[in-house]
């Protein structure tokens, strides 16, 4: 079920799904409104004469004008969208294009203009005038006029959205909000239940309890995008076996590569073994659904580009560091998932490759630190946020990881900062942790 939900979310995130859905709805509405015009007669006397068309020529002229205008604006909207994507790709990074495609307003705008164009064409085709019969879909034409007014307002909103969406600060803020939402969803998610304690769990001892081993191989090449955890646990439990996974979402797999081992007491049939790898979704690109580092790398990419010699924009890099700090402070307090997963009977069934705090910290700050050489403002700010994260850290392992980054940041500062007082400022901050 979760696997279907993953595909549904991916479908909704495509740039074409919402516009196509709106187009189909407009076709149904046009047929429905023409049918209403056919069975009902709208009064053209009194106030009705100001809203309903009573002339075939006027009906055709209005519908032709609206349809022509809508398809013309649709082309403009498409061109503006491509320009925005080009600017975002060149300034902020090509991997951020997907974020702009995910913006629901962009999808709705494109679908709205094309659907209004099709609606007017269908309604226009229903207008008839001959010696025996005259049909004017007055109500349908009124709906087309209201849709045109709504699309004009939508165009203004769209232009504003595009102008705002390509600003670096807003892009960084949106990614940060997504990361914050993602960490609160990902870490409560479990692959079965976790054991109550891991102190006495030794992987080799657990494996030695099984007599047979079988290799689980990747069904295709690509990035591991999603693991249907419930299905995998159910299959392994039915086999009364133990599954050790070597990769997690975000890793690249090669077809036929061993992604895990299945330990069992009896030889597992080939058809049952093949069910396991098909619970893994492997695609051409990375996704953020179960891969926290993917979104973090997007933020890091913006910072890295800002610190490149051709751009030299330390303020954007500092904004990325600030937004990453909020995520790392949350992760410094939260419980990371165990690598062991148990079934309903508390039997260990899966040994997963899980992410830890140090790995996320490395993903967030390693490249920024490496690119920050020669930019004292960025190095000093990076040291400051490490102090903040250290204050939030609860576990000794987390604090040790932060101290390691403090030392590496201090080394970069000593090697690249030439101004004496800037270096003293950096050392003074580092001493708050290193002298504890």
Q: What is the pLDDT along the chain (436 residues), one digit of tens a residue?
A: 556 766 777 777 777 888 899 999 999 999 999 998 888 766 555 555 556 777 888 889 999 999 999 999 888 888 887 787 777 777 777 767 766 767 788 889 989 999 999 999 999 998 888 777 788 888 899 999 999 999 999 999 988 888 887 777 888 888 888 787 777 766 654 444 555 455 445 677 778 888 888 899 998 899 998 888 888 888 888 888 899 898 888 899 999 899 989 998 888 888 888 888 888 888 888 887 778 888 888 889 889 988 988 788 899 899 999 999 988 998 888 877 778 888 888 888 888 888 888 999 999 999 999 999 889 999 999 999 999 999 998 888 899 999 999 999 999 999 998 888 989 999 998 888 886 5
pLDDT given for residue 253 in this prediction: 92
- Domain chopping of the chain, boundaries: 2-166, 182-189+291-334+356-434
Ranges assigned E (strand) in 84-182: 128-129, 134-135
Record the tokens describing residue 234, joined without a space: 């159910």
Neighbours of 272 (CB within 10 A): 14
pLDDT given for residue 200 in this prediction: 47
Cβ-based neighbours of 344, under 8 Å, separated by 6 or more: 193
Q: Which residues pair with 243 in a beta bridge?
A: 262, 350
Starting at the edge strand that comes first in sequence, how are the strands of the sheet with 212-217 ordered?
212-217, 258-264, 242-245, 348-351, 340-342
pLDDT given for residue 190 in this prediction: 43
> pTM of the predicted model, to two decimals?
0.76
Give backbone dihedrals phi and psi of 250, rounded to 5 degrees, phi first: 110, -20
Let me know: does 375 contact 321? Beta carbons within 8 Å.
no
Query: For 82-100, what is each residue's pLDDT tens digit?
Result: 787 777 777 777 767 766 7
Query: For 366-378, what is each residue's pLDDT tens digit?
Result: 999 999 988 999 9
């Amino acid at each position: 079920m979760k696997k279907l939900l993953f595909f549904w979310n991916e479908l909704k995130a495509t740039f074409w799904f919402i516009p196509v859905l709106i187009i189909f709805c407009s076709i149904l509405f046009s047929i429905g409104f023409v049918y209403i015009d056919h069975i009902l007669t709208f009064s053209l006397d009194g106030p009705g004469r100001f809203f309903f068309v009573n002339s075939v020529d006027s009906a055709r002229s209005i519908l032709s004008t609206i349809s022509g205008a809508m398809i013309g604006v649709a082309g403009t909207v498409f061109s503006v969208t491509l320009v925005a994507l080009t600017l975002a790709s060149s300034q902020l990074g090509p991997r951020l294009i997907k974020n702009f495609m995910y913006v629901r307003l962009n999808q709705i705008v494109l679908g709205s203009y094309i659907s209004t164009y099709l609606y007017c064409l269908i309604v226009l085709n229903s207008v008839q005038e001959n010696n025996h019969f005259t049909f004017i879909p007055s109500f349908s034409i009124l709906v087309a006029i209201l849709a045109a007014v709504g699309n004009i307002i939508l165009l203004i909103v769209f232009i504003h959205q595009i102008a705002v969406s390509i600003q670096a600060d807003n892009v960084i803020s949106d990614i940060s909000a997504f990361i914050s939402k993602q960490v609160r969803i990902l870490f409560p998610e479990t692959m079965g239940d976790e054991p109550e304690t891991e102190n006495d769990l030794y992987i080799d001892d657990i494996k030695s309890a099984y007599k047979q081993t079988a290799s689980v191989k990747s069904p295709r090449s690509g990035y591991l995008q999603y693991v249907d955890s419930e299905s995998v646990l159910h299959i392994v439990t039915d086999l009364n076996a133990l599954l050790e996974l070597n990769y997690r979402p975000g890793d690249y797999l090669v077809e036929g590569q061993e992604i895990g081992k299945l330990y069992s007491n009896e030889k597992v049939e080939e058809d049952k073994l093949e069910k396991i790898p098909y619970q893994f979704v492997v695609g051409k690109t990375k996704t953020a659904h179960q891969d926290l580092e993917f979104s973090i790398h997007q933020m890091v990419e913006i910072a890295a580009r800002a610190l490149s010699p051709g751009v030299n924009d330390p303020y954007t890099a500092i904004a990325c560091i600030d937004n990453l700090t909020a995520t790392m402070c949350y992760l410094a307090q939260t419980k990371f998932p165990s690598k062991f997963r148990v079934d309903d009977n508390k039997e260990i069934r899966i040994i997963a490759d899980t992410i830890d705090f140090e790995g996320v910290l490395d993903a967030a700050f390693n490249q920024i630190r490496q690119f920050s050489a020669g930019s004292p403002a960025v190095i000093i700010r990076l040291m400051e946020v490490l102090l903040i994260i250290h204050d939030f850290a609860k576990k000794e392992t987390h604090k040790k990881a932060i101290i390691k980054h403090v030392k590496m940041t201090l080394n970069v500062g000593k090697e690249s900062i030439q101004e004496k007082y800037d270096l003293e400022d950096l050392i003074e901050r580092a001493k708050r942790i290193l002298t504890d």
